[in-house]
Chain A
Amino acid sequence: MMGAWSYQHRKAIAHALGRLLHQPLGTLLSALVVGIALALPAGGFVLVDNVASLARGVTGSPEISLYLSLDATDADVTEVESRLRKQDNLSGVQFVSRDVALKQLADNGLADVLDGLERNPLPHAFIVTPRQEDPALFEQLHQTFAAWPKVDHVQLDAAWVQRMHSLLSLVELGVSLLAVLLGAALVIITFNTIRLQILTQRAEIDVTRLLGATDAFIRRPFYWLGCLQGLLGGLVAWTIVTASISLLRGSVESLAQAYGAVFALNGPNPTQVTGLLVVAIALGWLGTALSVRRHLRESE
């Protein structure tokens, strides 16, 4: 049974490959169209991914600073610290006493100015690192800390990172929208390819039906054809994205160097490539399913 099944599929694959090789130019053109349609969103996702990792690399982990009021006592400091230790969404808590802060300022070349002051104007501070770079979490922590006694001022040290994140998710949304549109285009292209194939194979379809072929037997080569076209398009898209990124890599790296940053543009990783090919095949399958439903409806 298994043998018969795989035999039928091998026949169907051979048939589909034969069709593809029979019209090499048509096959190539379809693969290019599908490939370009897929390359745009795929490249977009890869770039968004790169910028996101750039943002992480430049800033390190974003932090929140809590400044206590000037009249805070050691007991108040202990109280705030113990409250911070109980927060399980923080990955780091660091205490900077007012003396240490003053010394840091002095070390930074402000010693002369500070000498003129009769007492230390700086407050005690805590610098904490949240576990996730989630803007909602930052906001929530900000409000929590601000409500605590003796906490004078709470500052988000990396507000721009958050803005960057929201910008990135906006861009990501745009790329997703593009992906949906171009995915639909791919389904339509496959739909049409299969429609034309069904028309040119009308005689064969009728004869095989007359000789007792089941619907599954008749549809099988078309499904293989649609999935193979999707796969070819996916491979073209992968090539386009990889080639574009290696073209861009040199100039992006020297640009980053000019700003004193180290940044390497990465091509799609194996998971992304696999995802791309799976999506391409799935869309090809979908286009075939719709076309076959529409055009192979039986006339007994």
Chain B
Amino acid sequence: MIVFEQVSKRYPGGHEALSEVSFELRHGELVVLSGHSGAGKSTLLKMIPVLERPTSGRVLINNQDVSHLPRAGIPYLRRSLGLMLQDNRLLYDRNVFDNIVLPLVIGGMAPKDAARRVHAALERVGLGGRDQEMPIGLSGGEQQRVAIARAIVKRPSILIADEPTAHLDAAYAHEIAELFQSFKSVGVTVIVCTHDPALFAETRPRRLVLRQGHLIEGAE
């Protein structure tokens, strides 16, 4: 369960990127976060893995106040999340397998188990058998899917994705949207941020809409 309580964020020297945002997400829910460019979508998502901390208000994940989490606790919180940032942050000096296995190496998983997980994750995103390729040789959509595989390889209970379909054509975008739907169906809480309102339209997901830092829709 993810709870935002009156969360505001003011960047140093900047204007207010989020203003008193409050909402609650239940386990296994899929929400689509939308809003114009600069509305504060990325800022909101970054509060969850504590890439940013609120200026005021609280963020609770499974009843733990992460907005005041001590530094030493942050790595353990991040390990429980599946994270895809706006830029996919792949490492281009190593192949697909080594990119996807990274969260498992960090978690200290034995190599055999880790390899099995990596292959399962690749199958899941439709890239089975491509594990030895270098990311630079993949199309934008394929790279995006590698990033998704890396986010889900730990089987997190919460998946956060910032613009996972940016720069993809409609067919790819649709595929990825279906992938996120399928995670929801196995009980994963999914928060996807997109400025394409058509993307998840047919499944009528819950929508959160930001405008200039204010949550104007979906608070309940």
Contacts and interface: CB of A to CB of B under 8 A. Distances in A.
B87 to A, nearest CB: 11
A251 interface: no
A132 interface: no
A212 B50 contact: no
B135 interface: no
A211 B91 contact: no
Contact of A211 (B50, B72, B78): B78
A204 B102 CA distance: 10
A151 to B, nearest CB: 75
A213 B107 CA distance: 8
A90 to B, nearest CB: 64
A213 B83 contact: no
A300 interface: yes
A64 B33 CA distance: 96
B15 interface: no
Given A204-B91, A298-B71, A210 B105 contact: no
Contacts of A300: 50-51, 71, 74
Given A300-B50, A300-B51, A207 B102 contact: yes
A11 B74 contact: no
Nearest to B110: A7
B85 A210 contact: yes
Contacts of B91: 203-204, 207
A134 to B, nearest CB: 54
A269 interface: no
Interface in B120-161: 150
A212 B89 contact: no
A11 B111 CA distance: 10
B102 A211 contact: yes
A11 B110 CA distance: 11
A217 B106 contact: yes
A213 B74 contact: no
Interface in B38-83: 49-51, 71-72, 74-81, 83
Interface string B79-102: 111010100010101000000001
A8 B108 contact: yes
Interface of A is mostly: helix
Contacts of A4: 108
Contacts of B85: 210
A248 to B, nearest CB: 47
Q: Most chain-B Cβ atoms within 10 A of its Cβ — which of A206, A207, A217? A: A207
B103 interface: yes
Contact of B79 (A8, A203, A212): A212
Nearest to B153: A211
Contacts of A212: 75-81, 103, 106-107
B74 A211 contact: no
Nearest to B106: A213
Contacts of B76: 212
A210 B71 contact: no
Given A203-B91, A207-B102, A213 B108 contact: no
A219 to B, nearest CB: 13
Contacts of B106: 208, 211-213, 217
Nearest to A217: B106
A210 B78 contact: yes
Contacts of B83: 210-211
A210 B45 CA distance: 13
A214 interface: yes
Contacts of B108: 4, 7-8
Interface in A1-21: 4, 7-8, 11
21 contacts: A4-B108, A7-B110, A203-B91, A209-B75, A210-B49, A210-B78, A210-B83, A210-B89, A211-B78, A211-B102, A212-B77, A212-B78, A212-B79, A212-B80, A212-B103, A213-B106, A214-B72, A217-B75, A217-B106, A300-B50, A300-B51
Given A11-B105, A204-B91, A211-B79, 14 more contacts: A203-B89, A203-B91, A210-B78, A210-B83, A211-B102, A212-B76, A212-B80, A212-B81, A213-B75, A213-B106, A214-B72, A217-B75, A298-B71, A300-B71
Interface of B: 49-51, 71-72, 74-81, 83, 85, 89, 91, 93, 102-103, 105-108, 110, 150
Top 8 nearest A-B pairs by Cβ distance? A212-B79, A212-B78, A4-B108, A214-B75, A212-B75, A211-B103, A213-B106, A207-B89
